[in-house]
Amino acid sequence: MWKSKDVYFLSGSTGILAEDLGKSLLCQFPEISFNEEKLPFIRTEQDAWNALEHILEQSSGRHPLVFSTIMNPDLIAILDAPEIEFFNICDTYLTRLEELLEAKPLRESGFSRHLDETTMAQRVSAIQYCISHDDGSSTKDYDEAEVILLGVSRSGKTPVSVYLATQMGIKTANYPLVCDDLNVYRLPADIVRNKKRVIALSTTPEILHHIREKRYKGSSYAKLSTCVNEINQAHQIFLQYEIPIIMSDGRSIEETATQVAQELALKKKLHLHTKKKG
């Protein structure tokens, strides 16, 4: 078994897709150490020869893994050298789709990104909103939010908010439940008014204690008893206001964000159904 492997992510565009797909496969082999490098914007034959030369120089004789989303067959022919293990992620499926649909594909890297300017503008707007409405800022603007994440301090609200904005284009605000909220079991009016868009994030007291200890070691804020009390109070508030809870413990940011998006879609359907009945 290999103890380590060199890995390269090749693309005719930014390389984000090649990297994401490659890493999603490599994470299944945690016992192996991977030395990773991304080589984006390979658009000409000279770019391909330069990339191949670099890979062979860096990893000669060690059969590096190369994950590619390049669709140009001329560039693929250059890069698919016998000295490397070449995984052409997109071309395999594109060829199959070409046969099934009986149509010629464009074979242009990053075409969807250039095509959909509306999606890009939406994503930029979501990122700006997320930054401006992090950690309870500007609650008066919550009417514009697509989702408002609620939870005690350090329950994962900010990283999930950022993922929802940057990867899904969802305008996300997040609000930390502090003592003033927890002790009176009441939510601010700006949140109550937008309750149909509110989703709670929670975790276990043990995980919360561990996270807080890393940043504020030995503080009363990080004590396990404090974490137990705050989570219990928060859950009573969620129950009182009928707010759905998503547990983030043991899940990645991506998994939690996907659950939030699914819950948001479900809430929207329920809201529309209620309006029609009314």
- Partnered with residue 149 across adjacent β-strands are 174, 199
Give the tens place of pLDDT for each residue, 43-66. Answer: 999 999 999 999 999 997 789 999
Dihedral sign (CA 22, 25, 28, 32): negative
Q: How far is it, in rounded angstroms, from Cα 205 to Cα 202? A: 9
Coil, helix or strand at residue 153: coil
Report pLDDT for 266: 64
pTM (two decimals): 0.62
Which of 13-17, 148-152, 162-166, 202-206 shows the lowest per-residue confidence on average (mean pLDDT)?
A: 13-17
Q: How far is it, in rounded angstroms, from Cα 163 to Cα 252? A: 11
Contacts of 30 (CB under 8 A, 6+ apart): none
**Domains in the chain with CATH codes:** 4-112 (3.40.50), 121-277 (3.40.50)
Q: Are 75 and 42 within 8 A, CB to CB?
A: yes
Strands lying side by side in the sheet with 33-39: 33-39, 4-10, 65-68, 85-88
C-alpha of 75 from chain center: 30
Nearest 5°: the CA angle 260, 265, 269 is: 145
Which of 90-94, 150-154, 185-189 shows the lowest per-residue confidence on average (mean pLDDT)?
A: 90-94
Counting Cβ atoms within 10 Å, is residue 111 exposed (0-12), middle (13-18) or buried (19+)?
Answer: middle
Q: How far is it, in rounded angstroms, from Cα 31 to Cα 214? A: 26
Which of 8-17, 87-96, 174-183, 211-220 shows the lowest per-residue confidence on average (mean pLDDT)?
A: 87-96
Give the tens place of pLDDT for each residue, 98-111. Answer: 777 777 766 666 55
Q: How far is it, in rounded angstroms, from Cα 127 to Cα 139? A: 17
Report pLDDT for 193: 96
Angle formed by the axes of helices 157-168 and 117-132, nearest 10°: 160
Dihedral sign (CA 45, 51, 52, 57): positive
